[in-house]
A and B are shown apart, each in its own frame.
Chain A
Amino acid sequence: MTLAFAILAALIVVSAVAAMTLRNLVHCALCLAVAFIGLAGTYLQLGAQFVGLSQVLVYVGAVAILIVFAILLTRSGEPGPGRQFSATALMGVAIALAVFAVLGKVITSSAVAKRGVLPAPQTSVAQLGQKLMTDYILPLEVLALLLTAAMIGAVIIALKEKESAK
């Protein structure tokens, strides 16, 4: 377990917990961006440079900003007078702890825990692009179609309702 991994793991866990527990929604969104940056650092550490940089571009650059805009448009930046957690919050935390206990038990007792460490793979972004343009060209095109459809759908859903429709 290296020091870099420990620092990144601590950063991710602390900012994720903060993103889920803080009262002010703007702070939550900023903590989420910090967690995404930590994850991008982990990807870089694992040797997946392109994924790490796409993580920064897509999550920190687009999704976090989108969430901030949604907070702005729904005027929920300031915490309301009511409780922030639902009535069954204890049950939710218990379920999450149970899930973590099961996952942790499975991970620590599985065969991968005893596997030897392989040398770092020698892969480049050029190889990745070649794969995307040959083996994965059909999924890529389908994905482009899905993204276009999702963007048009999002705009239509968020459009103002007509007065006559009410």
Chain B
Amino acid sequence: MNPLTGYLLLAALLFSIGLAGALTRRNAILVLIGIELMLNAANLNFIAFWRYGPNPEALTGVMFVLFAIAIAAAEAAVGLALIISIYRHYKTTNVNDVNELKG
């Protein structure tokens, strides 16, 4: 098997694990952890394509991942602040109980 295929399959598996967690867990913090795993799977794809793709001197994949890591850090900070705010308001982090907008 080609090394690139191995890395891409690992990233796909990691993405699916994160997606399964984000869809099935009831705690909002765990949903956020699942989203972080999916973001990391995308980063792994970028690095693998940079390493095994043509023209790696341009450093495009590495640059994209560096910017993605910084944006993911901002996303995690805002997401966790929202979860803390929701906990203060509803006294729960269970996403099923936060249903005031439900029709």
Contacts and interface: CB of A to CB of B under 8 A. Distances in A.
**Interface of B (DSSP majority class):** helix
A120 B30 CA distance: 37
Contacts of B7: 5, 42, 46
Contact of B76 (A66, A89, A91): A66
A146 B74 contact: yes
Contacts of B89: 161
25 contacts: A13-B13, A13-B17, A16-B17, A17-B17, A28-B30, A48-B47, A48-B50, A51-B65, A62-B73, A63-B73, A66-B80, A83-B26, A87-B96, A92-B24, A93-B20, A93-B24, A95-B23, A97-B16, A100-B16, A123-B62, A127-B59, A128-B62, A128-B63, A132-B63, A150-B75
Contacts of B54: 118
A32 B72 CA distance: 15
Interface of A: 1-2, 5, 9, 12-13, 16-17, 19-21, 25, 28-29, 32, 35-36, 39, 42-43, 46-48, 50-51, 54-55, 58-59, 62-63, 66-67, 69-71, 73-74, 76, 82-89, 91-93, 95-97, 99-100, 103-104, 107-108, 112-115, 117-118, 120-121, 123, 127-128, 131-132, 136, 139, 143, 146-147, 150-151, 153-155, 157-158, 160-161
| The 9 nearest A-B residue pairs measured at CB | A92-B23, A20-B21, A121-B56, A96-B20, A150-B74, A100-B16, A103-B12, A154-B81, A158-B81
Among A16, A117, A153, the one with the most B-chain Cβ atoms within 10 Å of its Cβ is A16
B77 A86 contact: no
Interface in B47-103: 47-48, 50-54, 56-57, 59, 62-63, 65-67, 69-78, 80-85, 87-89, 93-96
A13 B24 contact: no
A48 to B, nearest CB: 5
Nearest to B73: A58
B33 A29 contact: yes
A83 B20 CA distance: 16
A150 B74 CA distance: 6
Contacts of B63: 128, 131-132, 136
